[in-house]
A = this chain, B = another copy of it.
């Protein structure tokens, strides 16, 4: 006979999946801050009236999805964005030395515009909705190697200004997290080869029409809600996009 589950003992799938859902809901609600600890496994087992093994199995999955981080002897923490996580999970461009370096970003433009069909579709908005468009140049080892165009829903990022954006902490996802409570936990990317347009060719110091790698990225927070759409164009003459699949530590 398994443990009772408060009032809510309806058969809605395995118990540990329901515990996992409760934890994700708590995270989405902001019950625990990024870099902060969630309650200990034994405390959660008491609160939810389930065994510690069930709690562990729920947390196991959240750790595998990189939403939580375990530290033996200290506790379990909400994954926060910083340079390490950025480099490890969200930045795939690497030079010939195969070592990942943190890029330097320089702002090109910050505008409020209307969503076109593509941006609306990717962000789950409708055409002509207000969006913020930000253009960045990324430098690596002294060279401009990537031009990013970022789109954010004005509804989600209502008070975001150019000043707030440029005075952000080191990563952009950190800004979303600390200022807007939006924790990017997953992305999908579409890659293709394209010809450099005149404007980006000038910035990247390559001939117009030279091949560039285009990366369309959608960043999601909890419950698969899209919060950022980004188009990157990368000069891959000296750098490559690294994709190590199915890697386990």
Instruction: With both chains docked as a complex, state the minimum distance between the C-beta of A231 and any C-beta of chain B, in angstroms.
Output: 12
The reply to whether the CB of A117 lies closer than 8 angstroms to some CB of chain B is: no
Chain B residue with minimal CB distance to A60?
B60
Query: B61 touching A248 by the CB < 8 A rule?
Result: yes
Chain B residue at minimum C-beta to C-beta distance from A237? B192
Report which of B61, B185, B210, B241 forms a contact with A190, defined as CB distance below 8 A. B241
Q: Which residue of B lies closest to A239 (CB)?
A: B192
Residue A15, interface by CB 8 Å: no
**Size category of the binding interface on chain A:** 20 to 34
Contacts of A181 in B (CB 8 A): none
- In the complex, per-residue mask of A184-204: 1 if CB is within 8 Å of any chain B CB, else 0: 011111111111000000000
| Contact of A9 with B by CB under 8 A | no
Give chain B nearest CB distance to A69 CB in angstroms: 14
Distance A65 CA – B66 CA, assembled complex (angstroms):
16
